[in-house]
Structure 1
C-alpha cells in the first residue's frame, strides 16, 4: 500500500516511449495539471504511447489543477487537465481559444485513519463542521449518535487538506458550501480556500500527498479521489446524501450523481449536491483542456487520437482503477466537441 503512494509521488511525471528510443518518436505531447485523475491518466498514456502506430508519446506532469490551467494559459504545454472546469475569465486568457472535454469522472471521498473503526457514517450536517474545525474529537456526541454500537476513540481529529491550487478542493468545497451556509460564509469554495487557522489542520500537496498524510496520521481525515483510497486500502466514510441516505463510495452512487449533470456549451457541468435517490453526494467529471487553434497538423492529429483512445479503450479500465465509466451519451458529446480542435491555418 505504501509502495503505491511512494510510486505516485515519485512518478509525478509520466514519460513513456512506445517500446522504442525517444529519438524515434514522431510526435511528443506534453501535459500537466490535475492529480485527481493521475492513476487513470498514467495507465492511459502509458498504453497509448506503447500501442499507437504513429510513434506518439505522452508526457504528463501531475501538479494540481490550478498549475495545469496556468501552464495552458502560459502556452508551455500541449494540453492540461483540471477537476475544476475553467471559468470564463480563465478561458479568455488563452488567445488561441480553449476546448474543455470531460474525459473521466470520479468520487471525492473522506479517507480516515481510525484503526479501531471499520465503518464510519458521517451525516451531512457533521462533515462540513469537521472541515470547518468545529468538531474536535472523534467521540463527539453527534458523530457517536450516527454510529450506534461503534467505539469511537477520544482521539483529536486532524483535518488534512490540499496545500496547492486544486480541482479536488474546488469540488469538495463547492459541495460543502452548497449544504452548509456557515461553511460557505466562513471557509468558502474554490481551488484554494481559507481553511481554519488551527493546529489540527495539516496541508499536503496533491491527492497522493493527502492520502499519504492521512495514512501516516492517527485520527486524520482528508478528502481524496476514490481511486487513491481504493488502491491504498485507506478506509472511507459513508456519507449522507440529499435524500437522507448513507451512501458508500465505489458503488452505483457516483454514476447516479453524474446522471443529474447538465452541460453548458463549453461542456461544463457542476454537480454540487445531487438530489437523486442513491446518489453519492460528491462526484465530478474531470476535464482535459486543449487549444482550439494554433498547433501544427501532426500535433492535432496526435491529440485527437489520444482523445479517442480515452473515450474508448481507456474507459474499459475506469472502474478497476477507481473511476466512473463515462455514460455513452456523454462520450458522444465529448467526441463532437473534440472536432473544435483544429490545426493552425
Structure 2
C-alpha cells in the first residue's frame, strides 16, 4: 500500500514537472556580440523569475540578420540597423533594446586604462596603416609626458560581419575623408591592415594576447577582459573617457521618430560629454507570426528587460532606453506584429 502511494506520488510529481517544462517557453535568438553581456544577464535573471529560457548566440550582426530572415531563430539581433526597404522585403519589425559604446583598446606596456589620448583622425590613420609605430609624432603630440615605445602597431579588427564594425567604420568615415574614400563603412570592409578576430570576444582576446596591439570592442568586453581603453576626442573637441554617462550624453538627442525602423545612428554626436562611438543595438522579429504564443513570449522578455533590466544594464555600462522610447517600442509591437489571423500579438 505504502509503496503504491509512493509510486503514485512520484508519478504525479513527474507529470507536474513535465507540465511545467511544457508550459515554459524556450526562445532562441542570435546576432550581435555587442549586447551579448547584457542579453546573457537578462536571460539568466528572466529564467530565474519566470522559468522561461532565452538562448542567445553571439554570432555577429550579419549572422543575426541572416538567421532571422531564414526563420531559424525566434529573434535576430543587429547593431547595424536594417534599412526600411530590407525590413519590408523580409517582413521584419525592428526595435531598439539598449545603448552602449564601442571603445579603442590597446596592449602597450606602461599604458593604463584611460591614459592614452587619440583623435578620430589619428585613429583612422592607424587603421589605414599610415601611422605604423606607437611613438609616431601624431600620437606623441597628443600624449605629452607619456612614454610610448618605438614599436610597430598591431591592428586588430573583426573578421565576421559585424554591427560593431558598421558603427566603427561609420565613425571613421565621419572623421576621416581618406577613410571614407578608401574604405567606407559597413558590417564587413576591406581592411587596409591588421588581423581579424571573430566577435567582440575574439578581438578582445587578440588584443589581450598581442603586445603593442589596438582593436575596438564594446565597453563591457574591455572591462571584463581588463583591457586598457583610450580616451577619444569628441565632436566638441573634448577628450572624454568611455562611461555610461558619456554614452547617455551621446544618445540624449536621438531622433527615434525620424529614423525608419527606429534605426538611429549615434556616432559623433555633439556635446562636451558625449562619447563619439555610441550605438543602439536592435532586435528583429517577423511581422507575421505563426506561433502567436511564442511571439508574445519574445515580446514579454523584452518588456521585462525594459521594466526590470535597467539596473543590470547600467552595471555593465550600457544605457537603458528611456521610458518614452520603450513606450514607442510597445506601440510598434501592437501595430506591426500580428498573428496568422491578423490579430495583434501584443495588446
TM-score, length of structure 2 as denominator length: 0.88
SS, match of residue 95 in structure 2 = strand
Structure 1 residue 211 corresponds to structure 2 residue 208: no
SS, match of residue 303 in structure 2 = helix
Structure 1 residue 132 corresponds to structure 2 residue 128: yes
The partner residue of 1:24 within 2, 21, 27 is 21
Partner of 2:269: 274
The partner residue of 2:294 within 290, 295, 299 is 299
For residue 335 of structure 1, report the CA deviation from its aligned partner. Answer: 2.3
Partner of 2:57: 61
Partner of 1:7: none
Q: Work out the CA distance in 1 between the residues paired with 2:204 and 2:85.
A: 32
For residue 265 of structure 1, report the CA deviation from its aligned partner. Answer: 4.1
Q: Work out the CA distance in 1 between the residues paired with 2:190 and 2:156.
A: 13
The partner residue of 1:228 within 221, 245, 253 is 221
Partner of 2:42: 44
How many residues are treated as equivalent by the alignment?
Answer: 319
Contact 2:314 2:320 in 1 (8 A): yes
Contact 2:165 2:186 in 1 (8 A): yes
Equivalent residue runs for 1:97-246 within 5 Å: 97-118=91-112, 119-196=115-192, 198=193, 201-246=194-239
Partner of 2:6: none
Partner of 1:259: 252
Deviates more, 1:205-214 or 1:291-300: 291-300
Q: 1:212 to 1:22 in 2, by over 3 A?
A: farther
Q: Work out the CA distance in 1 between the residues paired with 2:30 and 2:19.
A: 19
For residue 29 of structure 1, report the CA deviation from its aligned partner. Answer: 1.2
Contact 2:231 2:242 in 1 (8 A): yes
Larger Rg: 2
Contact 1:25 1:57 in 2 (8 A): no
Deviation per residue, 1:251-305 (Å, 9 max, x gap): 5211110012112242111123201221110101000111111232211221121
SS, match of residue 185 in structure 2 = coil
For residue 316 of structure 1, report the CA deviation from its aligned partner. Answer: 1.6
The structure with the largest helix share of the pair is 2
Q: Which runs of 5+ in 2 are unaligned?
A: 1-16, 342-347
For residue 22 of structure 1, report the CA deviation from its aligned partner. Answer: 11
Contact 2:244 2:317 in 1 (8 A): no
Contact 1:25 1:56 in 2 (8 A): no
Deviates more, 1:61-70 or 1:329-338: 329-338
Structure 1 residue 313 corresponds to structure 2 residue 311: no
Deviates more, 1:151-160 or 1:297-306: 297-306
Q: Work out the CA distance in 2 between the residues paired with 1:257 and 1:240.
A: 13
TM-score, length of structure 1 as denominator length: 0.89
Deviation per residue, 1:60-92 (Å, 9 max, x gap): 111000001000111111100001111234323
Q: Work out the CA distance in 2 between the residues paired with 1:49 and 1:251.
A: 26
